[in-house]
């Protein structure tokens, strides 16, 4: 399958083989690929909690309006964001750690990040977090397909109860629930507007 065919054939799958398994090693490999997604100032604010325990999946299903794809998934990826990753000092330290900059470039990099945030302060708040997590999540969905798994992005869940159940930090923002597994159906065909209906080209 070539790249464009893979993109065009993605479906939101709501019927999974309940006996299918996904290994921890495979999950980590998938997430390492997904983490190549872009993010503002390379903040990488995503946090991922992967639930495989079948009893917990049944509880998650109860907090997801009893949608069966949650309980039948091989794993459910809870994707969250942490606004602390937008802290300028933390960003500078990350850039130094990975040798993106050296010590002589710290002042210039700090000024550029602070200037950017002065133009777009919302990008270090919930709005920016949802954009960055969205980019990561879309990347993750396509990576999952390359490993032979399908998924369905979900927001219609009781995130507060899920956070309490899993005893997660209260300063993490839950953005998306992503049930993952082996599809037993092809899913619904896409119905999409043609590009000419939503595009303006200025030559």
- pTM reported for the whole predicted model: 0.94
Residue 51: strand pairing partners: 76
Q: What is the pLDDT of residues 67-93, one digit of tens each?
A: 999 999 999 999 999 999 999 999 999
Asked if the structure places residue 122 within a domain, the reply is no
Asked if the structure places residue 56 within a domain, the reply is yes
Separation of alpha carbons 180 and 18, rounded Å: 11
CATH number for the domain that contains residue 31? 3.40.109.10
Q: In what order do the strands lie in the sheet with 75-82?
A: 46-51, 75-82, 172-181, 150-151
Contacts of 102 (CB under 8 A, 6+ apart): 96
Separation of alpha carbons 180 and 200, rounded Å: 36
Asked if the structure places residue 10 within a domain, the reply is yes
Q: How many CB atoms lie within 10 A of CB 88?
A: 16
Q: For residue 41, give its domain range.
A: 3-80+134-186
pLDDT given for residue 1 in this prediction: 59
Asked if the structure places residue 105 within a domain, the reply is no
Asked if the structure places residue 90 within a domain, the reply is no
Burial zone of 99 (CB within 10 Å; 0-12 exposed, 13-18 middle, 19+ buried): exposed
Separation of alpha carbons 72 and 14, rounded Å: 9
Domain total in the chain: 1
Pairing outcome for strands 172-181 and 75-82: antiparallel
Asked if the structure places residue 121 within a domain, the reply is no
What letter does residue 157 receive in the DSSP assignment? S
Q: Which two tokens stand for residue 133?
A: 């997590």
85, containing H or E segment: none
Asked if the structure places residue 155 within a domain, the reply is yes
Going by C-alpha positions, the residue among 29, 16, 13 that lies closest to residue 147 is 29
Asked if the structure places residue 25 within a domain, the reply is yes
Low-confidence ranges of the chain (pLDDT < 70): 1
């Amino acid at each position: 399958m070539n790249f464009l065919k893979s993109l065009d054939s993605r479906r939101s799958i709501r019927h999974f083989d309940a006996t299918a398994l996904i290994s921890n090693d495979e999950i980590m490999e998938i997430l390492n690929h997904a983490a190549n997604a872009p993010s503002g100032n390379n903040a990488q604010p995503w946090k991922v909690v992967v639930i495989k325990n079948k009893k917990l999946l049944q509880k998650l299903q109860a907090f997801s309006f009893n949608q069966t794809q949650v309980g039948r998934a091989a794993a459910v990826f809870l994707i969250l964001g942490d606004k602390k990753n937008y802290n300028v000092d933390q960003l500078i330290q990350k850039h130094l750690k990975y040798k993106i900059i050296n010590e002589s470039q710290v002042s210039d990099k700090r000024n550029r990040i602070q200037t950017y945030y002065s133009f777009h302060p919302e990008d270090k708040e919930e709005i920016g977090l949802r954009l960055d997590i969205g980019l990561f999540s879309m990347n993750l969905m396509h990576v999952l397909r390359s490993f032979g798994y399908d998924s369905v992005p979900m927001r219609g869940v009781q995130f507060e109860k899920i956070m309490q159940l899993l005893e997660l930090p209260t300063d993490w923002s839950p953005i998306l629930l992503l049930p993952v597994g082996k599809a037993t159906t092809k899913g619904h065909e896409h119905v999409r507007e043609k590009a000419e209906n939503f595009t303006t080209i200025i030559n």
